[in-house]
Chain A
Amino acid sequence: MAAGIAGSDISALLFTDAWGRVVFVDSNFLHLFGGRSAGSLVGEPLYRVLNVERQTVSSLLSDVAKAGYVQGVPLDIQDASGQVVTLLCSGVATYDDKGTFIGMDVTLHPPEARGSLGTPSIHGDVILARIRQIEAEVQKRKYRQQQTALQTYFTAHINALHILLGRMAGPRVCRSLQDTLNQMADRNGWPVRLADGGVTIGDELEAGVYRVLLAEAVSFSVSVVGRRLTAQEMSAVEAGMDARLLEAARQAGMRPFF
């Protein structure tokens, strides 16, 4: 193990799944770590392949999953002869279409190649591109999470106001609220539709759209049943919401309404 890595400036590449099991190793890895075939390494836990502490790989995996990538983390890898070799490890996260973490791409390179991310390593450009990609994915994921939070917040409040108006002011006033919001959405080309108290959102919406529609619904409800009852209903809805959801709504300027 690690027989040829000391003194080399070649980087090795491997991929793992979300649990840290090896799913791919490149030829450099096989060359540098010599002795085993790719087939025998696939499916093995990374800590066993690298002969490091299990906790070391767990923490690496966790950091990559959280931040999207780590760069130049020193790993003390014990070779077959028992000699400890320090390698630098860079990892980038991989996500599926839904933004779920599904694994990491790991590059191992000798300390001499520390500055290699820009130049000497054959994987430097790939890693930089992947990091940029990951950064974009992380941003996208954050945006998607915010979208989901705002959509949940908006839908919960619209449903609650719909129920409140139905209970207090009857079905006609409920339909009138629906029509008002649908007309507003149609006028502005927003892919939002209210029908029978349900909210259908066709595409991702800007936070401002949720804010404007919810403000209109609140204003409608206040006009019909008063601020006191509307605020009570909205507070009851918010009491059952996750703090992160409320924070996302606050950041989007959707709360507090009263």
Chain B
Amino acid sequence: MTSTLLEDRRMRGALLAGMLVMGGIILLYGFYNRLGPLTVAAVYDPVLVIVALGGAVGALLLWRASERGEQLRQVWGWLTVGLFLWAFAEALWGFFELFLQQDPFPSAADAAWTVGYVPLFVTLVLRFRSLRTALPYPLALILIGAAGLAVAVIFVIAPILASDEYSLLEKALTTFYGVGDLVVGLMALACVFVLIGGRLSWPWAIITAGLLIMTVCDLLYYYADWSGTYGGPTLTVATALADIPYLAAYLALTLGLYSQMRLEGIG
């Protein structure tokens, strides 16, 4: 099945482009201490927005390729809205960071992100329902969810909620992102479980990987930000682990949608 995906020349090209972007960003973070956080952000933020926009455009193209009244049209339509909102949130984040040189958390970007979860949630509900198949391995999903939630609560959410350093809004947002990411990731995983053995499982596996990586990165970011180990003039492990895989998460979303397009003969 993987070979089928890799047999596609354009898909191989897209993967190569993704790897080059990731390689470039890793290299950029290698020079973090020499370049400084603002210079790194000046490259990283626009790249992130472009990659996020790529995913949104992919969803848009899938929406356009589907026909009126088709169930998948709604799936891609909601995903388009969600990913555009997230791309917009990334752009706002970059704007606050680069042009206003403000700490972007919390900011208007969070509003866009928060609202963006709604269409994404609807997307995954509709996609799962469109498969018309009972959920396989429900216990596995519950265990993964419970383990993920336990880690998030014990190591990130609970300490942040217990501290006085974050405002109520920041605490609420941290909890929402932690739980929201996990819920969305698990819903995507449910779709993958149903599709295992079919070609469509690959786009959804890549998308799910992106969403789960994003969950980890978000938790890492909020933990690092709260503990004061994020950013600063010298590169910390927390900064590298929160930022670099975060771009990989968006790349995975975009590549997942591109592979879905290729399977449908679009693009």
User: Using a CB–CB distance below 8 Å, which chain A residues touch chain B?
Assistant: 165-173, 175-177, 180, 220, 222-229
Contacts and interface: CB of A to CB of B under 8 A. Distances in A.
20 contacts: A167-B198, A167-B199, A173-B132, A173-B194, A173-B198, A176-B132, A222-B70, A222-B72, A223-B131, A223-B132, A224-B200, A225-B200, A226-B70, A226-B72, A227-B66, A227-B67, A228-B66, A228-B67, A228-B264, A228-B265
A37 to B, nearest CB: 74
Interface string B124-154: 0000001111101000000000000000000
Nearest to B65: A228
Nearest to B67: A227
Nearest to A171: B197
Nearest to A175: B133
Contacts, number: 71
Given A165-B198, A227-B67, 15 more contacts: A168-B198, A168-B263, A170-B197, A170-B200, A172-B197, A173-B131, A173-B198, A175-B133, A176-B131, A176-B133, A176-B134, A223-B131, A223-B132, A224-B130, A225-B200
Contacts of A222: 70-72
Contacts of B265: 228
- Among B130, B132, B201, B264, chain A packs the most CB atoms within 10 A around the CB of B132
Interface residues of B, number: 23
B47 interface: no
A254 B216 CA distance: 51
Contacts of B194: 169-170, 172-173
Contact of A170 (B65, B67, B195): B195
B196 A172 contact: yes
- Among B132, B197, B198, chain A packs the most CB atoms within 10 A around the CB of B198
B252 to A, nearest CB: 21
Nearest to B136: A172
Interface in B179-211: 194-201
Contacts of B199: 167-168
Contacts of A226: 66, 70, 72, 264
A223 B71 contact: yes
A228 B198 CA distance: 17
B66 A224 contact: no
Given A168-B263, A227-B70, A229-B264, A220 B198 contact: no
Nearest to A229: B264
A223 B70 CA distance: 7
A173 B70 CA distance: 18
- Among A166, A177, A224, chain B packs the most CB atoms within 10 A around the CB of A224
A169 B1 CA distance: 12
A195 B66 CA distance: 31
B83 to A, nearest CB: 19
B53 to A, nearest CB: 24
Nearest to B66: A226
Nearest to A225: B200
B126 to A, nearest CB: 10
A80 B131 CA distance: 81
Nearest to A165: B198
Nearest to B135: A172
Given A167-B199, A226-B72, A229-B264, A172 B133 contact: yes
Nearest to A228: B264
Interface in B217-267: 263-265
